[in-house]
Structure 1
């Protein structure tokens, strides 16, 4: 790579990180020592600068809150939500207006409900596509905007804004869970449930309850998570059964989350909890059969296939890898392929763990690589898959060791 190509590559990376940090070129230029917008345009275009290259890059890395290696590395950016973006989400959740549900002091008018709904749908679709990095930028703004709408609108618009705020908090929980930020996920999950109760919508209440159950499970409160999910399902079942596909979908997901929580409790602290897992999975299967097809109402991807995928995950959680593999073999490829990419990759990562438990380590590596092809961020960015990669490296992967080491490098593991 010659100097011109290197300058252009560095310029593209500066532009990428500036955009992720939600800075304008003017703001970036000012922080770079009172430079002009033209200066910022030139450096992002890769044009030569009079400043020594290294000093500029060191200052740019400080301004963008990244390592200088992120500007020099030839490999593509991993795309993971980073500590800076998680901190911004945490800061948004801990602001006075978000905690109290009051209007923020900006004085700005709330955005129209249709605009907020489109932005939320965009975020949820990004999540299901496995594009989590975009959420680090979208979630803090969407939290602020939906809370402002809920605080300032009245009547039906206020109810609609409360529903969107609860759903956005649920999206926040899911994003935090992906990156192992369990305290942040738990905070968002609790807020989602509280707002959902004000929304007067049982579907929103059930959706928030399944998100909180998920956060509780990942934060070491699996037993309470199962009890909470089942209590929500029992309380809301009558109303949910009257709400058609969306009601059945969130009802079924509550039982799936309860099953996963019980499996986690059995694995961690209470072996007797494993007895309840099949019954909860069967209850979810019942609602999937009532639904009669694989759907994506309320962004649940709920249906017979997702129920089967969760059965695989539960068996893996219970360290019954051979049983998990046997169940996975019975899931039709077309049905699995129709699931959102995030769900497919999540399932393949679970299956890889099942292969490891069954002593089939080379197949575990290949399955994990398949998951990476489906949704790279699901594998490269998540602490749970990093642990799986490290376990495979420690135990040895035979002829797959070269492929595993290459994957470890892409995950940033030394």
Structure 2
């Protein structure tokens, strides 16, 4: 969090450049996520709001390769809600974010990583089917993300234990060696 905020301060001191808002916003999101991991919900909220203002003021989504805009801010809000234990809010924010135009503009790995992370919120909310579907969708988007991240394997195992799964979730489980094909 400190490193990201120090970098934002340096950007604020530099002469204005079109990419600065996107870079500063991305750093603010990273700082907000770090604050949330450290259980500093107030700082996480404040930093996310700062990032949201930048996203609203500067339409800089994917400007020169900087994947920043309102959708990444909303995805961060969903993760912060997950880590704060408000799984209902996390799922609502997630659904809003993936319904936005910016979702498809994000890099495939970013979208898949988010789907893997939000699978835990679905599980904690009691919706193993949605968790499994999020993982199957992540695998369609970026298989390497889903098949190599331990958190994806853990979430898929939990979804499988919770009960019935769809065919695509069962295929994913077989593909990563959790069940026999």
TM interval, short-chain normalised? 0.7 to 0.9
* 1:187-226 correspondence to structure 2 within 5 Å: 226=1
* 1:31-180 correspondence to structure 2 within 5 Å: none
2:17 corresponds to? 243
CA distance in 2, matches of 1:353, 1:237: 36
Distance 1:334 1:292, change over 3 A: closer
2:66 corresponds to? 300
Distance 1:326 1:373, change over 3 A: same
CA distance in 1, matches of 2:60, 2:21: 11
| 1:226-259 Cα deviation digits (max 9, x unpaired) | 122112212331316x011x11111111110001
Q: Does 1:263 align with 2:28?
A: no
CA RMSD in angstroms comes to 2.0
CA distance in 1, matches of 2:47, 2:167: 40
TM-score (ref. length: structure 1): 0.40
CA distance in 2, matches of 1:230, 1:333: 28
Q: Does 1:344 align with 2:118?
A: no
CA distance in 2, matches of 1:402, 1:388: 17
**Unaligned stretches of 5+ in structure 2?**
none
| 1:140-191 Cα deviation digits (max 9, x unpaired) | xxxxxxxxxxxxxxxxxxxxxxxxxxxxxxxxxxxxxxxxxxxxxxxxxxxx
Larger relative contact order (CA 8 Å, sep ≥ 6): 2
TM-score (ref. length: structure 2): 0.87
| 1:199-242 Cα deviation digits (max 9, x unpaired) | xxxxxxxxxxxxxxxxxxxxxxxxxxx122112212331316x0
CA contact (8 A) 1:365 1:397 kept: no
Q: Which of these residues, 359, 377, 387, is aligned with residue 154 of structure 2?
A: 387
| 1:289-321 Cα deviation digits (max 9, x unpaired) | 121252243x33111111111211222222322
**How far has the Cα of 1:404 moved from its partner?**
4.0
1:228 corresponds to? 3
1:7 corresponds to? none
**Unaligned stretches of 5+ in structure 1?**
1-225, 267-272
| 1:17-47 Cα deviation digits (max 9, x unpaired) | xxxxxxxxxxxxxxxxxxxxxxxxxxxxxxx
CA distance in 2, matches of 1:333, 1:251: 22
2:89 corresponds to? 323
Q: Does 1:254 align with 2:1?
A: no
Please tell me whether Structure 1 or Structure 2 has the larger radius of gyration of its CA atoms.
1
CA contact (8 A) 2:5 2:27 kept: yes
CA distance in 2, matches of 1:405, 1:286: 42
Number of residue pairs matched by the alignment: 178
**How far has the Cα of 1:338 moved from its partner?**
2.1
